[in-house]
Amino acid sequence: MYKYRPPDSDSDDGYDGFYFGDDDIKPTRPVWRVDSDQNLYDAVTNGDIEIIKAHLRQPSADIDRPLRGGNTLLHHACQHGHVEIVKCLLENGADPNRQVESITPLMSACSSGADGPVVEDIVKMLVDKGAVVNVSNKHGVTPFMFACIHGHLEVVAFLIQAAFLEATDNQGWTALFHAIENNQPEVVSILVKAGADVNVANRKGYAPRQVAQFHGFYDILDILPAEEHQYTVPTNYLSYSSLSDHIPCLFLKTDVPAYFPDIDSILRNARLQRFLENFAKHKINLNQFLTMTDDKLSKIDISLPLHRKQILLALLRYHLEHWSTQSIARVKRKDRDSFYDILMIISNHLKNVVIISSSLEYIQQNIETNKLGPISSTTIKECKETVVKYKKSIRKLQEATKYLHSFSPERPPLYINYDETIKAEKKAMLHRYFNYSLAIGVAIVAILKWKRFL
């Protein structure tokens, strides 16, 4: 049979268009492909543990491989609340901290729609296997926040001891904000009793009470404490602005506690800045702050043990920081520093001496209370060597101070000796009284003689 093709066609193999003829072309039937992971996905979502066990027995099985390009087996099991499958996967080496799109299995469990006790069992298994509690996804939301959002009271009560209550997401929302936004009054009650900050503001400037008022959640408003007059840390406490701030030891009375701006810096770096007002109210200086104990923190109205523990941990980390000699400025004879520059260098040295002295006092009080554990002879030897180096540094500082003092006159140009001034004033006053008395005496004698003459 002849086949008629368009005139421009010169190849029988390269043309797929229409043709006329007696041959019939039967359309091909579509072949439906089943994803190789579909059966496994159906098993983990439906809770079929036997298929999961059979899969894990295969030599080529990768327990942490994403299914269908998404979550892992452990993520799916946590999300759907299948306790036995979660237990099986963890016992076979599933990673409890495996992230998929920044989501961990613990986040999947805390955001599960399963019953509270089921979610609690899964969360406890994950934590026992080393799941990190204080981790956030790309939006800044932590597992604890997910538990507050979905109202898992048992999980909230379990994680609250390890979770950082003041952690914020990308919108500046703490766990308390999430609980209020999702109308979870029981969770709000737990957070308030645990000491969550009820006065913190999100990035839009709204406080938790304002969010509850906006949504009309009056039962939550009854749980939140009433607004009180907030203490504001004085602005002169937060920066070094006067000479008394830089060298407080030269002044008998100053309004600002010694080196208080450094306390603000330490608390800010530890994300504990909301406790700054406690130290400001009681006028705590840097030395007192660096040697704080649990009892001392209780006396300045930090009542919750969790908060005191957080502050003490921040102090421990501060004292463990290594010193660098390069970070301390030096006065060199070749440099042409102004008097102000030299004064600031010396003031910095004085502050460092206070810090080092506080660290030594901190070590001593922890040794006395046996909180540092047994101390080896090697550690003692290293401490002695460090003290020797410290003494050498102090001697060099003394030499530099004497060298700078050699340029000063015996008495400053504006020196005033108040004792000598008062003594001179008394002497002048006596001299005036003597002159007045002498003049009066002469006058009386002259009057008497004049009367006799008359």
List, for residues 339-386, the tens digit of each pLDDT value: 777 778 778 888 888 888 888 888 888 877 777 677 777 877 887 887
Helices 49-56 and 38-46: crossing angle, nearest 10°?
Answer: 130
Q: Are 122 and 90 in contact (CB under 8 A)?
A: no
pLDDT of residue 18: 45
The parts of the chain modelled with pLDDT lower than 50 are: 1-5, 8-9, 11, 14-21, 31-32, 34
pTM (two decimals)? 0.56
- DSSP, collapsed to helix, strand or coil, labels residue 203 as coil
Residue ranges of the domains in the chain? 36-223, 235-407
Radius of gyration (C-alpha) of the chain in whole angstroms: 40
pLDDT in tens, 146-201: 999 999 999 999 999 889 888 999 999 999 999 999 999 999 999 999 888 888 88
pLDDT of residue 88: 92
Looking at the domain that runs over 36-223, which CATH code has it been given?
1.25.40.20
pLDDT of residue 337: 65
pLDDT of residue 177: 94
What own/partner pairs with CB < 8 Å and gap ≥ 24 does 54-58 have? 56/88, 56/89, 56/92
Q: Are 197 and 165 in contact (CB under 8 A)?
A: yes
Secondary structure letter of residue 235 according to DSSP? G
For residues 191 and 176, give the distance between their C-alpha atoms in angstroms, rounded to a whole number.
Answer: 7
pLDDT of residue 133: 93
pLDDT of residue 24: 53
Phi-psi domain of 105 (left: phi exceeds 0; alpha: psi -120 through 50; beta: other): alpha
Q: Are 291 and 358 in contact (CB under 8 A)?
A: yes
Q: Are 96 and 62 in contact (CB under 8 A)?
A: no
